[in-house]
Amino acid sequence: MQNGIEASYQEAKTLYGKHGIDVDQVLENLAKIKVSMHCWQGDDVRGFLNRDQELTGGIAVTGNYPGAARTADELRQDLEKAFSLIPGKHKVNLHAIYADTDEKVDLDQLEPKHFESWVAWAKEQGLGLDFNPTCFSHEKSADGFTLSHADPAIRQFWIDHCKASRKIGAYFGEQLGQTCVTNVWIPDGYKDIPVDRMGPRQRLKDALDEVFKEELNPAFNLDAVESKVFGLGSESYVVGSHEFYMGYGIQNNKLICLDAGHFHPTEMISGKLSALALFTKGILLHVSRPVRWDSDHVVIMDDELQDIARELVRHNLLDTTHIGLDFFDASINRIAAWVIGMRNTLKALLRAMLEPTETLKSIELAGDYTSRLALMEELKSYPFGAVWDYYCAKQNVPVREEWLAEVKAYEKEVLVKRGEQGVVCK
Ligand code: RNT
Ligand code: ZN
């Protein structure tokens, strides 16, 4: 271990120890947390199934940084690079369009066999997998509707796709011995003020009932539903709103997915966790960063990220919460984007775990709000960085910004040698 890291760690341990925190134990607990890293940051949500389709559904990737992965092998290589710079063992979150096959197959016909290479790779790397049906970037979603489409044939296509996706999720879970979360998000909505707000919601409810009809082993697959309240092209009305999915999820025992970017600009998901947790069997998080809108910027160590982490730790929600990332920035090195988002998420969890929760709670209960504020503010400058550095060193990943040099070297050796985006080299 580098000079100074161990010594700083020991000093930090003494300081936290005064508040009764066992820092070694904290690091053991941190190592058990898996964060699901979203594959789609690696290639701007293009996937491999129908790469000629433009990205639709109101999700937009801006930027043209060189080196986006064009094949499953390239994406896996990039994911491996990123994971080598992130402490811990984690999961990869796949979308249906990332099927790795030479077969010409449409979304409603997908099967586990189209993902065999991902499973083999995940086994070899010791990773878990999560999954998502891709209800966008397809000719059948061109008018902005999928599971709530008024045309029964189109609706059926998306129902079949979501059913197929759950089976792929269960296959991941069974093969890897780790539960897969299959998350349904659809873009359905209207740009302008609708007349009938209920019809599409009734159709979505019925379609979901159909999708989830088949019971799957919850040890292998858990279903989640993701809401939003507005989007590009669905500014006036979103079928799968927060209330819709909160109702559906609670009534049907589904995980409710909260995406940090899917609410009104000052509405924070951290504040929702303690309420939702009392009524749901679990929560899926899409940790993201909205800048003025649902812009999906790279996750940084901002107040909301720390509040999310604090809520999970203070209320013991880590066992029932599935933490995933969801952002896409093509204006910077895509591997750096992953590493920054993952390291920040883990670092925020560590900071939260280094808080003297019980002391703070008892001060609050005693009504001593002066001490509560004073302590919470002082704790902000406690040396969590020394603990984080030690953790990275112990986990054999680069300490502090040392990882950046590795990303730059990889960019030079691998990424810039890739051709223009869109040129697929098999
Ligand atoms: C879109 C949702 C959704 C997607 C991914 C690609 O607003 O956040 O989770 O970002 O499925
Ligand atoms: Zn999301």
Six token digits for residue 422? 């869109």
Contacts for 82 with CB less than 8 Å, ≥ 6 apart:
37, 335, 338, 339, 342
- Count of the separate structural domains present in the chain: 1
Could you tell me the CATH number of the domain that includes residue 74?
3.20.20.150
Residue 268's CB is within 10 A of a number of other CB atoms, namely 17
328 within domain boundaries:
yes
Structure letter (DSSP) for residue 234 = B
pLDDT tens figures, 253-312:
999 999 999 999 999 999 999 999 999 989 999 999 999 999 999 999 999 999 999 999
Six token digits for residue 195? 């007349």
Whether the CB of 335 sits within 6 Å of ligand 1: no
SS3 366: coil
CA–CA separation, 221 and 215 (whole Å):
10
25 within domain boundaries:
no
Whether the CB of 44 sits within 6 Å of ligand 1: no
Atom of ligand 1 nearest to the CA of 231: 7
pLDDT tens figures, 74-112:
999 999 999 999 999 999 999 999 999 999 999 999 999
Which residues have beta carbons under 5 A from ligand 2 (an ion)? 259, 286, 326
pLDDT at 373: 98
pLDDT at 308: 98
406 within domain boundaries:
no
Contacts for 99 with CB less than 8 Å, ≥ 6 apart:
47, 48, 49, 105, 110, 114, 115
Alpha carbon distances (Å) from 151 to 158, 200, 260:
11, 11, 32
363 within domain boundaries:
no
pLDDT at 97: 98
Phi, psi for 240 (deg, rounded to 5): -85, 70
Q: What is the DSSP string of 107-120?
A: GGG--GGGGHHHHH
pLDDT tens figures, 385-413:
999 999 999 999 999 999 999 999 999 99
Whether the CB of 286 sits within 6 Å of ligand 1: yes
Six token digits for residue 125? 């790397």
292 within domain boundaries:
yes
Would you please indicate which residues are annotated as catalytic (active-site) residues?
185, 226, 228, 259, 262, 286, 294, 296, 326
Mean pLDDT of 117-142: 98
SS3 401: coil
307 within domain boundaries:
yes
User: What is the distance in A from the centroid of ligand 2 to the CA of 226?
Assistant: 7
With a cut of 60, say whether residue 7 has pLDDT above it.
yes
Atom of ligand 1 nearest to the CA of 58: 7
pLDDT at 420: 58
Whether the CB of 326 sits within 6 Å of ligand 1: yes
Atom of ligand 1 nearest to the CA of 132: 11
Mean pLDDT of 44-50: 95
CA–CA separation, 306 and 210 (whole Å):
38
Q: Of 67, 73, 66, 69, which Cα lies nearest the Cα of 40?
A: 69
129 within domain boundaries:
yes
CA–CA separation, 117 and 100 (whole Å):
7
Atom of ligand 1 nearest to the CA of 257: 9
User: What is the distance in A from the centroid of ligand 1 to the CA of 406?
Assistant: 29
374 within domain boundaries:
no
Rg, C-alpha atoms of the chain: 22
Domain around 122: 33-356
Percent over 90 (pLDDT), the chain: 96
pLDDT tens figures, 193-232:
999 999 999 999 999 999 999 999 999 999 999 999 999 9
Whether the CB of 330 sits within 6 Å of ligand 1: no
Whether the CB of 38 sits within 6 Å of ligand 1: no
